[in-house]
Chains A and B, each alone.
Chain A
Amino acid sequence: MLKARTLTIDIGRPPEDVYNFLVDPANLARWTLVKNGRPQPAAGLNSWAFDGPRGTVLVHFTPANPLFVLDYRMQVGPHTTHVAHVRVVRNGSGTTLTHTSVQQPLISDAMFESEEEWMYSDLQVLKTLMEGR
């Protein structure tokens, strides 16, 4: 089995709002480093291309669903660099979000560690953005 890491974050906003925001791939550019999202139907249903800090990033998303699951797979060039399982759950009037990253075979421990730190700060941006509206 591959190593996995789960980050959790509480967001003071109902899960419906958080999920509806996250499930629109265009919104990814609002809280992560990728920009200029556009659908990439040739790469599969729910696949989007973004301009990343080091070139084009292809992201494949799970279609919207009533269980508030949003898994995704990220590809830079021919390599899958990131696989994650995201879930949005109700916590009173707010949300608890879990983000589980799976360390891919070509990703070193140091790189995975650094990605998780980036992801944690991205999630803080998401929290601020969702709570501020």
Chain B
Amino acid sequence: MRRSHTISIQIDYPYALAYPYLADPRNYADWAAVDPDQFHLLENGDWSAETRFGGPRHVRFTPRNAFGILDHAVFEPGEPLLWTPMRVMPNEDGTELLFTFYQRPGSSEEQFQSAVEWITTDFLTLKSLLEARRR
């Protein structure tokens, strides 16, 4: 088993709006570490991305569902998919977000901690972006 770290964030933005926003892959580049100009849909339904941490990748998203599941896999074509668990849940008039990050094989403790910090920053960006829409 891999080491994992789960980030949880409270977002003051209704779940009924947060889930459809996050479930639409077109919005992914608004907050994730990919170049918005190069993010595009591929013929097989995956998305092509230029990531800020390691160059070109493909991204596959979970189809819409009733549970707020937003798992996605960021991968190099041909390599096995490692799904990253992500979920949003309603909490009164806001949203609770969970994201679990796994340590990649061969990555050091320092790289793992640094990746966790970067990802936390992405989610704080997402939080302020969604909360700004409410005002």
A residues engaging B (CB < 8 A)? 1-2, 4, 6, 8, 10, 12, 62, 65, 67, 69, 71, 85, 87, 89-94, 96, 98, 100, 102
Contact = CB atoms under 8 A, between A and B. Distances in A.
A31 B93 CA distance: 33
Contact of A2 (B1, B2, B91): B91
Interface stretch (B94-102, B106-114, B122-130): B94-102
Q: Is the interface of A mostly helix, strand, loop or mixed?
A: strand
Q: Is the interface of B mostly helix, strand, loop or mixed?
A: strand
Contacts of A8: 4, 6, 100
A7 B97 CA distance: 14
B85 A93 contact: no
Contacts of A100: 8, 89, 96, 98
Contacts of B50: none
B53 interface: no
Contact of A91 (B4, B89, B94): B4
A3 to B, nearest CB: 9
A55 B71 CA distance: 39
Interface residues of B, number: 25
Interface in B47-66: 62, 65-66
A108 to B, nearest CB: 18
B98 A92 contact: no
Nearest to A66: B65
A1 B67 contact: no
B8 A67 contact: no
Given A10-B1, A67-B65, A100-B8, A2 B83 contact: no
A6 B91 contact: no
A28 to B, nearest CB: 20
A64 to B, nearest CB: 12
